[in-house]
Chain A
Amino acid sequence: MSGCNSSHGIRCRGLGVSVAVGVLAAAAASAFGADQQAPPATQTSTGPQAPATQSPGPAPRGAPGAASRPFRPRTLFNSGDPTLALTPPLLGGRAAPPGSAPPNPDPRDFEGVWWLQGYEYLLGPAPGIPPPLKPKYMKLLEERIRAKNRGTPEADTETQCLSHGMPRLMESPYPIEIVQTPERITILHEVAHEVRRIWLNRPHPKHPRITFLGDSVGHWEGDTLVVDTIALDDRPFIDDEGSSHSTKLHLVERYTKIDGGAKLQLIMTVEDPVTLEHPYSYQRIYMWRPDVRPQEYICEENNRNAPVNGITVAK
Chain B
Amino acid sequence: MSGGSVVRAGLARLGSLRVGILVTALGAGIGAAHAAPPDFSGVWFVVHPPHALTTVEGTTPPLTPDARVIYEQHLAAAARGDRSFDGMTRCLPPGLPRLMLVNEPFEILQHPKVIYFIFQLNRLPRRAYVDEQLPTDPDPLWLGYSVAHWDGDALVIDSTGFNDLTLLDDAGLPHSESLRLTERYELSGDGKHMHALFTIDDPKSYTRPWTVKAEYVKRPGYEIPEEFCMDKLRNKRRAGNP
Interface residues of A in 109-147 (CB under 8 A from B): 111
Q: Contacts A188-B116, A296-B141, A296-B142: A194 and B123 contacting too (C-beta < 8 A)?
A: yes
By a CB distance below 8 angstroms, the chain B residues around A269 are: none
By a CB distance below 8 angstroms, the chain B residues around A194 are: 123
Contact B109 A181 (CB under 8 A): yes
Is residue B181 within 8 Å, beta carbon to beta carbon, of the partner chain? no
By a CB distance below 8 angstroms, the chain A residues around B141 are: 296
Interface residues of A in 260-315 (CB under 8 A from B): 293-294, 296, 298, 300-301, 303
Bound Cα distance A293, B90 (Å): 27
Contact B91 A186 (CB under 8 A): no
Q: 5 closest Cβ contacts across the A-B interface?
A: A211-B226, A300-B91, A161-B230, A296-B141, A195-B123
By a CB distance below 8 angstroms, the chain A residues around B127 are: 293-294
Bound Cα distance A186, B114 (Å): 14
Contact A193 B124 (CB under 8 A): yes
Nearest A residue to B143 via CB reads A296
Instruction: Please give the distance in Å from A3's CB to the nearest CB on chain B.
Output: 11
Instruction: Please give the distance in Å from B59's CB to the nearest CB on chain A.
Output: 33
Nearest B residue to A186 via CB reads B109
Contact A162 B228 (CB under 8 A): yes
By a CB distance below 8 angstroms, the chain A residues around B124 are: 193
Is residue B240 within 8 Å, beta carbon to beta carbon, of the partner chain? no
Interface residues of A in 151-192 (CB under 8 A from B): 160-163, 179, 181, 186, 188
A/B interface sample: 8 pairs, CB < 8 A: A111-B111, A179-B109, A193-B124, A193-B125, A195-B125, A212-B228, A296-B141, A301-B142
Bound Cα distance A195, B116 (Å): 12
Nearest B residue to A299 via CB reads B230
Nearest B residue to A213 via CB reads B226
Bound Cα distance A167, B240 (Å): 33
Nearest A residue to B145 via CB reads A296
Select which of A160, A296, A298 is within 8 A of B92 by beta carbon.
Answer: A298
Q: Contacts A162-B228, A162-B230, A163-B228: A195 and B143 contacting too (C-beta < 8 A)?
A: no
* A interface residue numbers (CB < 8 A to B): 111, 160-163, 179, 181, 186, 188, 193-195, 197, 209, 211-213, 293-294, 296, 298, 300-301, 303
Contact A179 B92 (CB under 8 A): no
Bound Cα distance A301, B125 (Å): 16
Bound Cα distance A194, B111 (Å): 20
Instruction: Please give the distance in Å from A205's CB to the nearest CB on chain B.
Output: 10
By a CB distance below 8 angstroms, the chain B residues around A161 are: 91, 230
By a CB distance below 8 angstroms, the chain A residues around B82 are: none
Bound Cα distance A294, B129 (Å): 12
Nearest A residue to B111 via CB reads A179
By a CB distance below 8 angstroms, the chain A residues around B224 are: 197
Contact A162 B116 (CB under 8 A): no
Bound Cα distance A261, B226 (Å): 31
Bound Cα distance A10, B99 (Å): 28
Instruction: Please give the distance in Å from A93's CB to the nearest CB on chain B.
Output: 19
Nearest B residue to A209 via CB reads B225
Contact B90 A300 (CB under 8 A): yes
Select which of B118, B230, B231 is within 8 A of A186 by beta carbon.
Answer: B118
Bound Cα distance A199, B71 (Å): 45
Select which of A209, A213, A298 is within 8 A of B93 by beta carbon.
Answer: A298
Interface residues of B in 10-64 (CB under 8 A from A): 41
Instruction: Please give the distance in Å from B60's CB to the nearest CB on chain A.
Output: 30
Bound Cα distance A281, B223 (Å): 31
By a CB distance below 8 angstroms, the chain A residues around B123 are: 193-195
Contact B116 A179 (CB under 8 A): yes
Bound Cα distance A211, B226 (Å): 7
Bound Cα distance A163, B116 (Å): 21
Bound Cα distance A188, B126 (Å): 10
By a CB distance below 8 angstroms, the chain B residues around A195 are: 118, 123, 125
Interface string of B113-124 (1 = CB under 8 A from A): 000101000011
Is residue B75 within 8 Å, beta carbon to beta carbon, of the partner chain? no
Instruction: Please give the distance in Å from B234's CB to the nearest CB on chain A.
Output: 8
- Supply 11 further A-B pairs (C-beta < 8 A) apart from A209-B225, A209-B226: A161-B91, A162-B230, A179-B116, A188-B125, A194-B123, A195-B125, A212-B228, A213-B226, A293-B127, A298-B92, A301-B92
Interface residues of B in 194-230 (CB under 8 A from A): 223-226, 228-230
Instruction: Please give the distance in Å from B145's CB to the nearest CB on chain A.
Output: 9
By a CB distance below 8 angstroms, the chain B residues around A179 are: 109, 111, 116
